[in-house]
Amino acid sequence: MIRLVVSILCLVLINFTLTRVNAQHKFNSFYLQQNIENRIDNLMCVHEAGPCFYQLCDPSSQLSSSKVFKCARGLVFDEKNQKCIWSLPWHSCQQSSENNFTDTTSTYLSTPESNFSLNETTEENKLVNFLSRNMNQRIRDFRSYNDSIVLSNDDHGEYAYIVVPVKITKNNRMEEPRPKTKSKKKSKKKNKKPIVNLDEIYKYKKVCYVTNWSQYRPKPAQFLPENVDPFLCTHIVYAFAYIDNYTLTIRTIEENDEEMYKRINDLKYKNPKLKTMLGIGGWNMASEEFSAMSNTKENRERFIRHAIRFLRFYNFDGIDLDWEFPGDRGGSPQDKPNFTKLIKEFRKAIADESIEEEKEQIILSIAVAAGKKRIDQGYEVKEIAPELDFINLMAFDFHGNWDDKTGMNAPLYNHENATGIDSEYNQDWAVSYWIKNGCPPHKLVLGLPAYGRTFHLKDKRKSGLLAKTLQDDAMSGKYTQTAGFLSFYEICQVKKNTNWTQVWQPQSKSHYLHKDHDWISYDDIKSFQLRTAYVVAKKLGGIFIWSIDMDDFNGKFCDQGAFPLIKNSMSLLMDYLPEWYSSNVNQKEKILVKSSKIQNSIDPNVFYVLKDELNIVEDELDADFELVKQNKIRNELVLLLSQQPEKFLPISLTESFNCNNKKKGLYRDPLDCTKYYFCDNLSNNEGLTTKPLQCPQNQFFNLQTCNCESKSLSNNKCVKLIETYCDLPKIKKL
């Protein structure tokens, strides 16, 4: 009986306790909801100083400017959960200390009754997430008021921070850091000029793009920053970062982009002359964000201001704007003039920042289209070219599996059957059109693809150029895993299968392979060397490779060593642009270059060439190669001239021909076959005088007949020569 009474009493006591607990929980939940709803206007946001500082979100609130709080070392503020959390310790603000900051390890709560965590239970988390619909708008308002922080939200509504360091003064005003000056006696700003790296003006550009998605390819094709040879290229462009569609400023794409930025820039410890740049945009981003950002002066200024700080913070030397394409793919008709405004304002801001911070100017380049339609609708060439350091011409993807017939991916010239718009789909046409529209040749950098395009033949018996194709079922690679696309190293694997037929297309100067229904257009060492020769002959600014991670970077696929495409093309370019040493160059500029970079033992007005012939590509005769052969020895010029000067013949660039030490007679100009000279005795018989002569239009001087002849009447090529005396029994080529 006693046990029964005790049991009943226990049950009553338990029931009473549970009732009190439930009542208290309901009261706490109600109190929590009321508290949060009452304090929704007092939500905290990350402060401009960095992710470990925070303040009230509402910019109109008087309290928002009265106090800034700081998380404890190693913690950053999480806006979603309204508390400080652990994060990576890379943020610079973790080391800073300000007297007016309050250190804390939890969210800012000003009243005793608010001392609870907002994520203690699942039910409370749901409540916070429900109320965060208003929080997101508050944060966006805060962001628009303070544009130093980039906010990007993914599909789950979370936030990522890209931090630019700023200084917080005692009155809570935000200022960019300024270098400390040793002395107040400085020259006036009016007399200051931007700091310019002469190499960016006078050197060939050898630009290599590195993609941030190549790290995810299966081994051995996985490409990491440590796989880059820092001595192959003059510029490394890390592709890509995006423009955030809300803030219209730079944001990262991959989770480890910030780590990759550091690893790419660490290459400069190995080669201090290497320049690193950040590519913004790309095909996947299209035009919408670029168009919105460039649409107003305020948006452009915000983007430029943030971009410069972003580049400096991550130690990049420049920025490559890869807008594909203005006025198209989500753009507007106003993109063309707006892009011009963006570039001009960017150039001015770069110059101002260089003067203010006493740093070398940030490099500014763009990647541009090669097709007439997109050039006409997207670029005011004459306006933008003077403002840019160089222009990367994407001279590839002229044909692909989107077509209904086979075609070359990156033809140098027209093939014989090209008609209509197809006659414009080649690199030579694109280069000529850009130059015709006002782009200086030395600013144009020709793009070369380290990949091929694949097609699926409609009839395997018809496998030539312009054969009918089906747009589906195009071949993909084991590593790149994209239909209609093969990297160079994947093509090397295909070629090892002897069942494939390889064809050289002489007009396009490219290859194609075919087997059964598969058809591949691609370029190799031979075609890359021909395009390098073209760059020299056209006096372009250099070449760029898209992309370095698709060359055989580890030498495991093609049996040609590491980076066979890049090593056998970029290495043919000498260091300095030869046209800058002609008589057209301002003498002051020439002296600057000579004193800063050129060896004193080498005359900058003389082009030294080897007398012996260099067989770069044995089975291809091309006049342009004569110039490449001259350029090939430039990098080893000092050593060779000092050891074996008898092997070199100097050619003056300030004076194309001189009769000194020559016998009387007719000579053709060594570089220009439309010019010739008569070396005649002086009146005092103490030497020879040079009489320059010019062939009529569309004629050149033929050394075999010693006459000017029409080009159509002779099969002789207009080659560059050393020996040009017209009665030589045999012409000795370089």
Same domain, residue pair 718 and 681 = yes
Residue 711 located in a structural domain? yes
- How far apart CA 427 and CA 421 sit, in angstroms, is 14
CATH number of the domain that residue 418 is part of:
3.20.20.80
Q: Domain count of the chain?
A: 4
C-alpha to C-alpha distances, 279 to 30, 250, 252, 365, nearest whole angstrom: 51, 10, 11, 9
> 561: left (phi > 0), else alpha (psi -120 to 50), else beta?
left
- How far apart CA 421 and CA 425 sit, in angstroms, is 7
Residue 478 located in a structural domain? no
Same domain, residue pair 219 and 130 = no
- Which of 24, 30, 18 is CA-nearest to residue 124? 30
- How far apart CA 345 and CA 343 sit, in angstroms, is 6
CATH number of the domain that residue 688 is part of:
2.170.140
pLDDT at position 620, please? 45
Which of 174, 189, 213 marks a domain boundary? Answer: 174
Same domain, residue pair 641 and 669 = no
pLDDT tens digits, one per residue of 76-122: 777 777 777 655 433 444 443 333 333 333 333 333 333 333 333 44
- How far apart CA 604 and CA 591 sit, in angstroms, is 9
Residue 489 located in a structural domain? no
Quote helix, strand, coil % in the chain, to nearest 5: 35, 20, 45
Same domain, residue pair 161 and 250 = no
Residue 495 located in a structural domain? no
Which of 620, 651, 682 marks a domain boundary? Answer: 651
Residue 400 located in a structural domain? yes
Instruction: DSSP letter for 335, please.
Output: H
- How far apart CA 61 and CA 142 sit, in angstroms, is 11
Same domain, residue pair 421 and 378 = yes
Residue 697 located in a structural domain? yes
Domain assignment of residue 128, given as a range:
31-111+121-174
User: Could you write out the DSSP letters of every residue in 201-253?
Assistant: HHB-EEEEEEETTGGGSPTTS---GGG--TTT-SEEEEEEEEE-TTT-SEE--
Same domain, residue pair 666 and 640 = no
Same domain, residue pair 558 and 692 = no
Q: CB–CB of 406/467 below 8 Å?
A: yes
pLDDT at position 694, please? 81
Same domain, residue pair 440 and 543 = yes
C-alpha to C-alpha distances, 451 to 210, 253, 323, 395, nearest whole angstrom: 14, 24, 21, 13
- How far apart CA 139 and CA 429 sit, in angstroms, is 50
pLDDT at position 298, please? 96
Q: What is the pTM of this model?
A: 0.62
Q: Which residues of the chain fall short of a pLDDT of 70? A: 1, 3, 5, 12, 16-42, 58-67, 72-75, 85-191, 576-658, 660-661, 671, 682-687, 711-724, 727-734
Same domain, residue pair 630 and 684 = no
Which of 537, 572, 607 marks a domain boundary? Answer: 572
Residue 279 located in a structural domain? yes
- Which of 88, 93, 92 is CA-nearest to residue 257? 88
Same domain, residue pair 318 and 443 = yes
Same domain, residue pair 727 and 616 = no
Same domain, residue pair 314 and 386 = yes
- How far apart CA 233 and CA 209 sit, in angstroms, is 10
Q: Which of 48, 79, 200, 324 is catalytic?
A: 324
Residue 494 located in a structural domain? no
Q: Tell me whether residue 324 is one of the annotated catalytic residues.
A: yes
Count of other CB atoms within 10 angstroms of residue 97: 10
